[in-house]
Structure 1
């Protein structure tokens, strides 16, 4: 199992660039973060090289939305820039969403004024082009469904949207990011959905529900989920710990090491 620490959530008591060393000191080999604009990419690469870390993912959309037709060119342009960053960092997965959010989590383009068919057709057309770019670059785009409780107005809120979009596009380089915390709130029935969309499952985010703390603090049966994904389905994908620690970062990663 590849376990990745999200340094946008854990080790927040340290400077961003110092968090890489903390991840390595905790015994992890994989790390992820959010948005790259404003970050020193060369320094991130140097920190990863120094500490033997691999960046597993970061966000590859920012101010343009997948579901907004007029955003299509800007979405693909930013994705192209993100792919170049990924090449520099040796990162194999890039997160995309139905709607653009900035680094505070606020929508920058939400498409709320658009008709339903327009959103779906736009998403399919743009995702198809994005997948071709990913294929050429040798990276995988992972499309994340997000809850509309903490993110009111969010469009793709379930695997019904993200999973079926990936199936329709049919590219091996477009898959879903299954965020356990989001999906427990929006659709539940996680084991059945993981099985249903196993062919397009590309990445998993871990956070217990309802508070999004470390596993064991909420209602989710992670042992069952791990058994289904790893043993039954035989998927060797990244499990990213994107969660809000209930305890100290040091104690949290110690628990996560035994996940």
Structure 2
């Protein structure tokens, strides 16, 4: 889609919805909103306002003032699209966030089992992710250690996971890349090995590598353990990446119970200069719902 057509469509869509053109960003007013933190949308979040094309969506994100982007499925996208998206991000000043580095075992143990074949599979997938990271200018990739092994004591499982992550760190360190371990809550993902931030902290300390850090997903940890700001403080040395989602609903900030303005203020005051992935849905459908997401981030980012 040509930029002129995209702008005209956006304005007409906004008019039809009763949205003033001034509510949009650079594409209509020439000035993108300046956020205090690097919030990263994903594809599909603004498809009604920007259209289905991934490049149009990236340009729309930049027009609104977003300076980061994440894409769990980047590794599976066609090579040509990866390159085109990387070029667009570079031109628009968008920093690439996480993509998922490997196959996640949701229902059976892999890393926790100590199985050498599954460890080899995992390490091969980490190695292949290096090339993807280079292609799309990414630094971080998501790792989920998989399901628990109910036939083994947790201590043995932890040792197996640490050994696999040590080996993966050896692959990533020469390239300056970082795998970020994501604890996931018991309600949405029952039976997974990694569920709490103190557990992730313990593992990262044991691996002791700049290439093995924590992805602190605020939505998951609100459900799993609560006490968000004290737990972020306790894990701070090992956190490299955040993800966002309000609870209940896993939608944008202001749609649930989490006081995101205070959480964002704390993260900002700690000097965090990394990415906060917007890994959530939209609480309202359509273009008006997408505009509501943008406004929710502006409101939650207004903490200075």
TM-score, shorter chain, exceeding 0.5: yes
Q: Which moved more, 1:64-73 or 1:130-139?
A: 64-73
Matches within 5 A, 1:22-171: 22-50=60-88, 52=92, 53-63=94-104, 65-70=110-115, 71-99=118-146, 110-115=147-152, 116-171=154-209
In the other structure, the counterpart of 2:273 is 236
* SS at structure 2 position matched to 1:192: helix
Give 1:193-212 correspondences, 5 Å limit: 193-212=231-250
Q: Which structure is larger by alpha-carbon Rg, 1 or 2?
A: 2
Which protein, 1 or 2, shows the higher relative CO under an 8 Å CA cutoff with sep ≥ 6?
1
1:94-120 residue CA offsets vs partner (Å, 9 max, x unmatched): 110121xxxxxxxxxx34444123321
Q: Aligned match of 1:177 in 215, 220, 226?
A: 215
* Paired residue secondary structure (1:203): strand
Cα deviation digits, residues 41-67 of structure 1 (max 9, x gap): 331331342352332110012156432
Alpha-carbon distance in 1 for matches of 2:188, 2:291: 27
Q: Aligned pair in 2 of structure 1 residues 159, 39: CA closer, same or farther (>3 Å)?
A: same
The alpha-carbon distance between structure 1 residues 230 and 27, as it changes in their structure 2 partners (threshold 3 A), is closer
Q: Work out the CA distance in 1 between the residues paired with 2:262 and 2:297.
A: 16
Unpaired runs of at least 5, structure 1: 100-109
Q: Which has the higher strand share?
A: 1
Inter-partner Cα distance in structure 1 for 2:111 and 2:52: 32
Runs (5+) with no aligned partner, structure 2: 1-36
Distance 1:144 1:84 in 2: 22
User: Is residue 2:297 matched to residue 1:256?
Assistant: yes
Residue in 2 that maps onto 1:6: 42
In structure 2, relative to structure 1, the CA distance for the partners of 1:138 and 1:29 (3 Å cut) is same
TM-score, with normalisation over the residues of structure 2? 0.75
Worse overlay, 24-33 or 126-135: 24-33
What is the distance in 2 between the residues matched to 1:210 and 1:251? 17
**Which one has the bigger helix percentage?**
2
Query: CA offset at residue 75 of structure 1?
Result: 0.5
- Within 2, Cα distance between the matches of 1:57 and 1:198? 19
SS at match of 1:50: helix
2: CA distance, partners of 1:226 / 1:4:
14
Structure 1 contact 205–242 (Cα < 8 Å) conserved: yes
1:2-47 deviations in Å (ceiling 9; x for gaps): 121122x623555363533332333322111113453113313313
Change (3 A) 1:137 1:111: same
Q: Deviations over 1:188-236 (max 9, x none)?
A: 11111111111001100011112111111111122222222221x2222
Cα deviation for residue 134 of structure 1 reads 1.7
